[in-house]
């Protein structure tokens, strides 16, 4: 009966699989804060951090050392990255049949309308502005946790 009371956790109960999150972010402070918040999540999860865009694509395409890595269930993506910027990565993910069904939450400093619209046009699942204030930053990451990790169902096909 548990799943009737907690439909949001049905993925965890039915499959006992933890949610795999990929964070693509180069700012160490932002990485650290995100890790702290996600660690406290109600849902079992594992967070992988990749700090540049090129490496992120290698991971997603399972190249080299990443050949046996699990595909993430959700990607948190900064737009402002070294080597390959977030918009290029987003475009590549969404054009790849093996990757396009992974929800991508853009989490970035830019409040520029053109960036918000472009991300949506490239099929980002959502666009979140990273607040400068630490407390507010924590709240935003927590909101991703509350919504995407607890309420939303991700596709089991990604397992």
Partner 1 sequence: MQILLVEDNPGDVRMMTDLLSETGILTQLHVSMDGADALDFLKKRGSHGLACYPDVIILDLNIPKKNGKEVLAEIKQDDALKSIPVVILSSSEADIDISYCYQMQANCYINKPHDLFNYMNVVKSISDFWFQTVRLPILS
Interface residue list for partner 1 (CB under 8 A): 4-8, 10, 94, 100-103, 111, 113, 116-117, 120-121, 123, 125-129, 140, 143, 146-148, 150-157
Which residue lies nearer to partner 1 by CB, 84 or 118? 118
Count of beta carbons in the 10 Å neighbourhood of residue 49: 17
Give the CA count within 13 Å in the CB-facing half-sphere of 126.
14
Compute the least distance from the CB of residue 14 to partner 1, in Å.
9
Compute the least distance from the CB of residue 126 to partner 1, in Å.
5
Query: Nearest-5° angle of CA 95, CA 98, CA 104?
Result: 65
Which residue lies nearer to partner 1 by CB, 45 or 150? 150
Which residue lies nearer to partner 1 by CB, 35 or 150? 150
Compute the least distance from the CB of residue 69 to partner 1, in Å.
20
């Amino acid at each position: 009966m548990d799943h009737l009371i907690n439909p949001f956790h049905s993925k965890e109960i039915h499959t006992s699989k933890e949610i795999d999150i990929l964070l693509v972010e180069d700012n160490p402070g932002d990485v650290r804060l995100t890790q702290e918040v996600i660690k406290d999540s109600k849902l079992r999860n594992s967070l992988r951090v990749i700090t540049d865009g090129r490496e992120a694509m290698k991971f997603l395409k399972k190249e080299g050392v990443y050949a046996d890595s699990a595909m993430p269930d959700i990607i948190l993506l900064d737009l402002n990255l070294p080597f390959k910027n977030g918009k290029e990565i987003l475009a590549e993910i969404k054009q790849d049949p093996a990757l396009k069904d992974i929800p991508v939450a853009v989490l970035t400093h830019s409040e520029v309308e053109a960036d918000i619209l472009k991300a949506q046009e490239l099929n980002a699942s959502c666009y979140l502005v990273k607040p400068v204030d630490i407390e507010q930053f924590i709240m935003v990451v927590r909101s991703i946790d509350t919504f995407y990790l607890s309420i939303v169902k991700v596709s089991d096909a990604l397992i």
